[in-house]
């Protein structure tokens, strides 16, 4: 199905943009649209979205990056169909329903396997896409591992291929975290905060520092221009540190 190809291209571009190596896809026709009026839970599109719902449900919350990826996925799949808006509404309904429970996960995997049993590489790419969703918040929980492990098993993905994908994502995000680690540690240091503190606690410390170093307040105290300039630089550092911490927490 060409919608799978579209998603694979999206994933490829996403990771290429982030220096994560993946396959190059070329010579793909994207101008042919499918007309589908049946049950999407008997179609690769609906089954894929259903599995995405299971993975998204695994850690109990959907972060902003996950929400963006889900939104783009529904849009990209829907654009493959002539009845685009109708398909998008149906896929949205599937997602909302399927994230309520894990009970039918095996059945969904078995149905998707039947549709893709002659294309192992496609199933591996689907697995890669689902792992991308699980890892995108940079926290691959035990629950996410278990649900993706089960999905891989019932899609009949070889264990070594599943582990290879997981290791690749872990390595990628570990390197990214290491590259950002110093700046994040520095941000907490600037705010006089720790990673264990709540966002509200950090916000209070941030506001206290802003009041202390705001150049207008410093100027009102009769400080010299040099002191005012130093306060301006310090306030910029405080603001940058606070934004860095908020970003790391998905806020």
CATH number at residue 185: 1.10.287
20 and 128 belong to one structural domain = yes
Nearest to 54 by CA among 133, 121, 110: 133
pLDDT digits (tens, 9 = 90+) for 84-119: 999 999 999 999 999 999 999 999 999 999 999 999
Alpha-carbon distances of 190 from 2, 61, 198, 231, rounded to whole Å: 50, 30, 16, 14
The answer to whether residue 33 sits within a structural domain is: yes
Quote the CA–CA distance of 76 and 7 in Å, as a whole number.
7
72 and 130 belong to one structural domain = yes
The answer to whether residue 113 sits within a structural domain is: yes
Could you tell me the pTM of the whole model? 0.64
20 and 110 belong to one structural domain = yes
Answer yes or no: are the C-beta atoms of 64 and 110 closer than 8 Å. no
Sign of CA dihedral 19, 24, 30, 34: negative
10 and 132 belong to one structural domain = yes
pLDDT digits (tens, 9 = 90+) for 179-213: 665 578 888 999 999 999 999 999 999 999 988 88
Full domain range(s) for residue 217: 181-248
The answer to whether residue 34 sits within a structural domain is: yes
Overall domain count for the chain = 2
113 and 236 belong to one structural domain = no
């Amino acid at each position: 199905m060409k919608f799978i190809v579209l998603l694979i291209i999206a994933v490829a571009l996403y990771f290429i943009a982030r220096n994560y190596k993946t396959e190059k896809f070329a010579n793909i026709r994207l101008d042919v649209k499918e007309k589908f009026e049946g049950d999407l839970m008997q179609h690769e599109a609906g089954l894929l979205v259903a599995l995405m719902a299971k993975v998204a449900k695994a850690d109990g919350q959907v972060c902003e990056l996950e929400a963006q990826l889900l939104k783009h996925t529904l849009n990209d799949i829907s654009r493959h169909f002539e009845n685009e808006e109708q398909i998008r509404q149906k896929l949205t309904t599937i997602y909302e329903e399927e994230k309520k429970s894990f009970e039918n996960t095996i059945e969904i995997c078995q149905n998707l396997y039947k549709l893709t049993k002659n294309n192992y590489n496609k199933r591996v790419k689907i697995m890669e896409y689902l792992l991308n969703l699980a890892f995108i918040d940079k926290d691959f929980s035990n629950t996410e591992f278990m649900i993706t492990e089960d999905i891989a098993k019932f899609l009949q993905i070889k264990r070594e291929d599943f582990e290879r994908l997981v290791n690749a994502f872990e390595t990628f995000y570990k390197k990214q975290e290491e590259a950002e680690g110093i700046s994040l540690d520095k941000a907490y240091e600037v705010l006089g905060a720790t990673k264990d503190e709540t966002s509200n606690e950090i916000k209070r410390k941030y506001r206290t520092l802003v009041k202390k170093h705001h150049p207008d307040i410093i100027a009102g105290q009769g400080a010299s221009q040099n002191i005012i300039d130093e306060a301006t630089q310090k306030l910029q550092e405080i603001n940058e540190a606070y934004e860095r911490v908020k970003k790391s927490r998905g806020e």
